[in-house]
A and B are shown apart, each in its own frame.
Chain A
């Protein structure tokens, strides 16, 4: 099993859109996928029409008193399951802090999922918190949506810096450009090949697209409700590029 996270300390950069669409594509390819909606706002859950609460809340969960699998909900798509969000996830940091090995608790909690899933994908809330640290430590690769702005790129560098300071074994960061708007000069400049390569950013980018905005109305992944659109094609290309960067053991034949 492989753990992936979609993370960026900045809000509104397309984390959730990325997580839902990539999870769908991985499952469509044959992997058994679990998406964990870690954001108390529950945007992933909303997109997948699942509004269940987490019984016992974050407390029982973090304390290991609740079997994660018992909370899982099937989405409408084959092999694609969701661990729903809950308002109590707001208290993650406090609860984690009370645990032993508080920075590694998440990975430990997720271990039993290995029999049922090939990929566990974490949709993270924004911020750089104890939960973030847990995620950065737990994930085999961190997918980072970046809006092509100088500030956004700087915030990613801050995350990398954070890892170094906290002795987090440099995670496998996979940053890519998100919400790219070709009409904006800065977007065009930053997404140029040399600049992009210099920053270690993936070549696949996700454009700013009304088809992606429509996810909120359709409440489904883009490749499911609009498979032939450019947006769907871009997510497919992005997933292929990410998949090829993952350690071999996790790739499926």
Chain B
């Protein structure tokens, strides 16, 4: 069955689409209705980016969740949703196909309202000479409103074709006629985009990634400011979500943006005024420190299901004790963190930092700046060489710290490559980032398991000190620690091979070609 949406041009009068219908059909006016759609998505638009739409549709006092996957104009799954507040997590939908589909699409991100559109809708039946309905059309006039309702912030009109089974040919002919008349075909995601724009957050507009387009000849400090501004935006939008505790990714993205900012600042010695640079490094470091405990606990809560799966069923109650302990700690840690967010010096710094980043670079920065491209190549090359040297020195007897250090350097390299990726040929830089990412995964696994094992042991000690460590919880923790030690060693055992692949001749040639500071500048835009 064909379901399609067409946009009625703004300057077209009402019912102008009538003139475009194939001949031989008559039109019967059907009932009018009102639609209220509240669109739901994750903060980083996972549904929208994949072409899916989830909307809470309110009609005649009834509420239902409608799922329109892959840009189709017809709900594939529909569930009654009597609650006034929309769901935040798929699990709230119980065991249902929709819950499963959503969980897969959203992963660890929560749903939140991202736009609201209301429409007056009028149905029209298209009849053949037997007065049999052969297609239905819906003319809709949308008004986008703020999420809380309120004033109309935009409007547009659509005409939907709702094909009927067995009458595909006619629906196709109507669609053809509309297209020939230059009417744009839409998908339900376009309606989301419209509602989201009216709500002030463009659909698909956020991703955790750094996305700045730089010019090769731009002074390095001006490029750095652009990157730091982008990171500050990320910090600010994620602070809001962290405060509301919508999901754990807000704090994660917040921390990554802090870390990236600090990482870049390290490279800017002699380019930015030293007083500002030092203050920012210190303040950002403190901010990051204020979030560390909450983040660690978030990670444990995220792992809880996995822990349960990894252990025999009888240790379930032991995991419950651990989970309750972590949840309680997290509540307190969050309070401390939010107090730090709100503290005067924090607010003052963030305001100053934005002002500094937005002022014209010429005013304050060091003269004789290198160009952004030269700067990026020099830095990336230097960090890369260091990684190759340090990595080659690691053998089976090296201490864990050596791997830890190497991991930090890889992060530094990764960030630099991502900050400046717009300056390099897209294919080359993407391949290299991919290679680096795979190597990092290995280092990350080693580190992760080491830290998890260590922290679990610390919790065990805490629980024991508070006389709140039942036998089962102790057993559960011991079993988990043992598993983590095992995985840690597995990751360690793989290190040589992974490093070999990352620093191998092939890759090394690519790094050389792209970043080394001599004349081999093939393929780089001037």
Interface on A for B, CB 8 Å cutoff?
Answer: 48-52, 71-74, 76, 81, 219
> Which residues of B have CB within 8 Å of A73?
164-167
In the complex, A73 Cα to B125 Cα: how many Å?
Answer: 16
Tell me whether A49 and B130 are in contact (CB under 8 A).
yes
Complex: how many Å from CA A76 to CA B131? 10
26 A-B pairs within 8 Å (CB atoms) are namely A48-B132, A49-B130, A49-B131, A49-B132, A50-B132, A51-B130, A52-B166, A71-B166, A72-B165, A72-B166, A73-B164, A73-B165, A73-B166, A73-B167, A74-B133, A74-B164, A74-B165, A74-B166, A74-B167, A76-B125, A76-B132, A76-B133, A81-B165, A81-B166, A219-B130, A219-B131
Q: Which residues of A contact B167 (CB under 8 A)?
A: 73-74
New contact pairs (12) apart from A49-B132, A73-B166, A81-B166, CB-CB < 8 Å = A48-B132, A49-B130, A51-B130, A52-B166, A71-B166, A73-B164, A73-B165, A73-B167, A74-B166, A74-B167, A76-B125, A219-B130
CB neighbors of A among B154-179 (8 A)? 164-167
- With most chain A CB atoms within 10 A of its CB, the pick from B130, B131, B132, B167 is B132
Number of chain B residues whose Cβ lies closer than 8 Å to a Cβ of chain A: 9
For A81, the chain B residues whose CB sits under 8 A away are 165-166
A219 to B131, CA, bound (A): 10
B137 to chain A, nearest CB (A): 15
Tell me which residues across on chain A come within 8 A of B125, comparing CB atoms.
76
| Nearest CB on A from B351, distance (A) | 58
Collect the chain B residues with CB atoms within 8 Å of residue A48's CB: 132
Closest-CB distance, A117 to chain B (whole angstroms): 11
* A120 CB to nearest B CB, Å: 15
B132: which A residues are within 8 A, CB to CB?
A: 48-50, 76
B130-159 residues at the A interface, CB under 8 angstroms? 130-133
Residues of B within 8 A of A219 (CB): 130-131
Instruction: Please indicate the chain A residues that have their CB under 8 angstroms from the CB of B131 in the complex.
Output: 49, 219
**Least distance between A30 CB and chain B CB atoms (Å):** 12
Nearest 5 interchain pairs by C-beta: A73-B166, A74-B164, A49-B132, A74-B165, A76-B133
Q: Bound complex: CA of A81 vs CA of B167, how far in Å? A: 12
Contacts of A72 in B (CB 8 A): 165-166
| Chain A residue nearest in CB terms to B128 | A49
**Whole-angstrom distance from the CB of B464 to the nearest CB of chain A?**
52
A50 to B165, CA, bound (A): 12
Whole-angstrom distance between the Cβ of B59 and the nearest chain A Cβ: 14
Complex Cα distance A73/B170, Å?
Answer: 13
Please measure, in the bound complex, the distance between the C-alpha atom of A72 and the C-alpha atom of B165, giving whole angstroms.
7
Bound state CA distance, A125 and B166, in angstroms?
Answer: 24
Per the bound structure, the CA–CA distance linking A2 and B132 in Å amounts to 28
- Give every chain A residue within 8 A of B164 (Cβ-Cβ): 73-74
| CB proximity to A under 8 Å, residues B257-315 | none
Task: Point out the residues of chain A lying under 8 angstroms from B133, CB to CB.
Answer: 74, 76
Measured in the bound complex, the distance between the Cα atoms of B164 and A74 in whole Å is 6
Chain A proximity mask over B479-512: 1 for CB below 8 Å, otherwise 0: 0000000000000000000000000000000000
Closest to B165 in A: A74
Chain B residue with Cβ nearest A116:
B165
B1 to A, closest residue via Cβ: A74
Give chain A residues whose Cβ lies under 8 Å from the Cβ of B165: 72-74, 81
Chain B CB within 10 A, most for which of A73, A74, A219:
A74
A57–B65 Cα distance when bound, in Å, is 42
Instruction: Please report which residues of chain B, range 114-133, place their CB below 8 angstroms from some CB of chain A when the two chains form the complex.
Output: 125, 130-133
Interface residues of B in 13-33 (CB under 8 A from A): none
Q: Which residues of B contact A76 (CB under 8 A)?
A: 125, 132-133
Residues of B within 8 A of A50 (CB): 132
The CA-CA distance from A76 to B164 in the complex, in Å, is 9
